[in-house]
Amino acid sequence: MLKYDVSGVGLNLVTGEEYLERTNAARLEDGRRPSAGVWVLGVIQGSLAEQAGVRLGDELLEVAGHSVCASPPFKVASLLQGGSADGADLALKARRLDGSVYDVSLPGKRAGPSSSPVSLELPRAPSGDAVVKLRRFDARAAADVAGALARAEAGGTGRVILDLRSNRGGLVTEGVEVASLFLAEGDVVLRLQGRGAGARPPYIARSPPATSLPLVLLVDGQTASAAEAAAGALRGNCRAVVAGRQTFGKGLIQSVYELSDGSGLVLTVGKYFTPAGVDIDREGIQPDFRSVPDQQQAEEVLRACRLERAPAASA
């Protein structure tokens, strides 16, 4: 048992499909039957959201003037948690169950992650290694990694070291987006399986890669969840080698549900797998090297990976 609020303002956010499932509703009051969007499954009594008038069943449409209709719930929760950059009130636009739209403001100054999860160490010599340290997969992860890659390429980097050590995860969707920065359009990033629902459509890289620089991943025993998903995607597509220690081994998809006393229950609702269908839960990812290899050593491993995948790709 724990408080279900990860938004920092007292909201439990889910997709429209999850909202209908959890409330046993066939459709909304105005006849809609949503499958996407971000919906309020619960509001903590006395919270900022309740004081502002947000209710169970409301659909969030905009945060700070930006549409969140196509964003996953936990990404929206992270945006809410961070507040506004200048401390000003945070404007929300939402829609009631009856279809009416309203605007509210939430206090901008409150606790929440505001610093970038990414730091960049440029190489000291031309064509050297740039180290991109990613501490967590929050709502800024993919955008900030993309920015770091652009600066690294502009600085004459020869190879990227993506340091995921002590990264316990966060938003799995950001793990997918970070991995997609390095993958070819159309590559499988992640495979999913829900409870009793069988396999779901896999996550696919939707755009060309942000960089073609060689890539090494650094991991350790604290690398978990979304960080493992990203590492599994990049190695599974023969895009990167992995160096360090065996990862934690958390391949579960978990959701948090409201209870009547304002607490919540964490339930496992599915699992994710590498592009090849490997289950890393409780197993983790075994590294290819104990320390960062030279590029010739890395290329030998990647060449073997591509040869191993070739029969499966042509089958």
State pLDDT tens for residues 202-225.
Answer: 999 999 999 999 999 999 998 998
Share of the chain above pLDDT 90, in %: 49
Cα–Cα distance for residue pair 67/44, rounded to 1 Å: 24
Q: What's the confidence (pLDDT) of residue 266?
A: 58
Q: Is the pTM of this model over 0.85?
A: no
Catalytic residues: 225, 250
In the chain, count H helices and then E strands: 7, 15
Does position 97 have pLDDT exceeding 90, yes or no? no
Give the confidence band of 17 by pLDDT, cuts at 50, 70, 90: confident
Query: Which tens digit of pLDDT belongs to each residue from 135-154?
Result: 988 878 898 999 999 999 99
Q: What are the backbone angles phi and psi of residue 73, rounded to the nearest 5°?
A: -55, -40
Give the confidence band of 290 by pLDDT, cuts at 50, 70, 90: very high
Does position 82 have pLDDT exceeding 70, yes or no? no
Tokens of 272: 């994710």
Torsion angle in degrees (nearest 10) through CA of 216, 220, 225, 231: 20
| Fold topology of 11-106 | Pdz3 Domain (2.30.42)
According to CATH, what is the number of the domain 118-310? Answer: 3.90.226.10
For range 92-108, the mean pLDDT: 89
Cα–Cα distance for residue pair 235/188, rounded to 1 Å: 12
Give the confidence band of 1 by pLDDT, cuts at 50, 70, 90: very low
51: three-class secondary structure by DSSP: helix
Tokens of 36: 């996407």
Of residues 35 and 281, more confidence is placed in 281
Q: What's the confidence (pLDDT) of residue 80?
A: 81
The Cα-based distances of 225 to 169, 221, 230 in angstroms read 5, 12, 9
Q: What's the confidence (pLDDT) of residue 18?
A: 76
Residue 30 falls in which region: left (phi positive, over 0), alpha (psi -120 to 50) or beta: alpha
CB atoms within 10 A of CB 69: 14
Q: What's the confidence (pLDDT) of residue 65?
A: 86
What does the domain layout of the chain look like in residue ranges? 11-106, 118-310
- Tell me how far apart the terminal alpha carbons of the chain are, to the nearest angstrom: 47
Domains 11-106 and 118-310 in one fold: no
Does position 46 have pLDDT exceeding 50, yes or no? yes
Of residues 133 and 253, more confidence is placed in 133
Does position 5 have pLDDT exceeding 60, yes or no? no
How does 271-310 read in b/e, with b if 16+ C-beta sit within 10 Å? bbbbbeeeebeeebbebbbeebbeeeebeebbeebeeeee
Cα–Cα distance for residue pair 223/240, rounded to 1 Å: 16
Helices (H), the chain: 16-23, 48-52, 73-82, 141-154, 172-180, 226-236, 295-314
